[in-house]
Amino acid sequence: MSSRPSFYITRLENWVDLPSSLGTLGAQILAGGTDLVPNLTWELASPTMLVDVMGISELREITIDAEGRWVIGAAVTLSDILHHPVLGAHYPMLVAAVHAVATPEIRAQATLGGNLCVDTRCRFRNQPPIWRSGLDPCFKSDGNRCYAAPKSRECVAILSSDTAPVLIALGAEVAVGGPELRWVEVEALYSGDGHDHLTLGPQEFVRAVRLPRVSPAGVFRKWRDRATMDFPEVDVAVAATLDEGVPRDIRIVVSAVGPAPVRISAAEVLLDSSPWTDAQLERASVMAREAVHPYDNGQLGVIGRQLAVRSLVLDALTALRAALMETGGEQNDLGGRDSREKGQPR
């Protein structure tokens, strides 16, 4: 029988002390614990020290900075975001993604920073110890192989954060605390390697998320086996702004298909330079499917997830087009009626 990891817990009340605590070999942050504690139970994590940050008041605040941008502390719970009296009206896509995370009980405990930094998952690793004992260690377990992608030279475990693709689509930034404070785009938080999926240094941590002063229009879609609780098999977030009736700053993000969210750059360029006809939206969804390469490490298979990417991107873009048309007025249909261009009934 394997032994459970041994560690001790320290509780902080000032974020200034956090970098030095994280400098301890084997130290790991404990916030809501909804991901970490199950990993400890299944011996998927072996910290020597847990640093409890829930007593740091600065990490639990939702504020507006001097430039009118909303700043959400990393230890703010997902329920706090859902029940904020104003935030949801300004950033409905973020609230939609937060509401899609797990269950009310988990959202009451889980934090925004924890969801962004959630450990990557793989059906070959996220299993009880007795199940894993029949396999040689994989990359995620400090081995030298990948069972989901045998030819891969690095881990392809899945990032299951629902908020990450939305925050990337919104153009949000994260404050990375440590020896020095720095702001980076959320997209830069992820390395693309499922083993070490975050770009944080040994003494660094996510301190806060800063949202743009004006939110673009956006749509979030999530596909999972069950309508509640389950991790995503595919996440899609799309966003754009209107500039004199023309969609600009288009972002199409697909997630839960690999170790990091994927920007569909080719589709973004396509829709930035052409009318949003049904045919163009369909073409953009095909580009999305071709740009992502899920492996057999989810619950619903490779082909199903590929088809879901195309379907969800098309659905999200169609909904976004409708939202932009409503914003821009009926005189602007964004090229949404192919029949109007062709002069033919649909």
- What CATH number is associated with residue 257? 3.30.390.50
The answer to whether residues 245 and 187 belong to one domain is no
CA 24 to chain centre: 28
Give the chain's largest Cα–Cα span.
73
The answer to whether residues 28 and 75 belong to one domain is yes
Which pLDDT score is estimated for 300?
82
72 domain-assigned: yes
Digitized pLDDT (tens) for each residue of the chain, 346 residues in all: 455 668 999 999 998 999 999 999 999 999 999 999 999 999 999 999 999 999 999 999 999 999 999 999 999 999 999 999 999 999 999 999 999 999 999 999 999 999 999 999 999 999 999 999 999 999 999 999 999 999 999 999 999 999 999 999 999 999 999 999 999 999 999 999 999 999 999 999 999 999 999 999 999 999 998 887 899 999 999 999 999 889 999 999 999 999 999 999 999 999 998 999 999 999 999 999 999 999 989 888 899 999 999 999 999 999 999 999 998 755 455 765 453 444 333 3
Closest listed residue to residue 220, CA positions, set 261, 174, 276, 267 = 261
The answer to whether residues 174 and 62 belong to one domain is yes
Q: Whole-angstrom Cα distance, residue 31 to residue 52?
A: 6
Which pLDDT score is estimated for 119?
98
The answer to whether residues 203 and 249 belong to one domain is no
345 domain-assigned: no
132 domain-assigned: no
Phi, psi at 86, each rounded to 5°? -125, -35
The answer to whether residues 28 and 112 belong to one domain is yes
The answer to whether residues 154 and 77 belong to one domain is yes
Q: How many domains does the chain have?
A: 2
The answer to whether residues 167 and 257 belong to one domain is no
- Name the 3-class secondary structure at 239: strand
Which pLDDT score is estimated for 50?
97
Angle, helices 265-272 vs 278-291, to 10°: value is 160
What CATH number corresponds to the domain at position 80? Answer: 3.30.465.10
Identify residue 241 by its one-letter amino acid code: T
- What range does the domain containing 296 cover? 227-339
60 domain-assigned: yes
The answer to whether residues 198 and 295 belong to one domain is no
> How is the chain split among helix, strand and coil, in percent rounded to 5?
35, 20, 45
Q: Whole-angstrom Cα distance, residue 171 to residue 308?
A: 24
- Name the 3-class secondary structure at 275: coil
The answer to whether residues 232 and 257 belong to one domain is yes
152 domain-assigned: yes
Neighbours of 199 (CB within 10 A): 15
Which pLDDT score is estimated for 315?
98
The answer to whether residues 47 and 177 belong to one domain is yes
The answer to whether residues 54 and 185 belong to one domain is yes
DSSP conformation letters of 11-79: E-S-GGGHHHHHTSTTEEEESS-TTHHHHHHTT----SEEEE-TT-GGGG-EEE-TTS-EEEETT-BHH
The answer to whether residues 92 and 199 belong to one domain is yes
Residues 33/73, Cβ–Cβ less than 8 Å: no
Q: Whole-angstrom Cα distance, residue 61 to residue 300?
A: 38
Closest listed residue to residue 209, CA positions, set 107, 121, 115 = 115
Enter the pTM of the model. Answer: 0.94
334 domain-assigned: yes
130 domain-assigned: no
169 domain-assigned: yes
Which pLDDT score is estimated for 226?
85
Last residue of a domain, one of 180, 210, 240: 210
Last residue of a domain, one of 210, 236, 259: 210
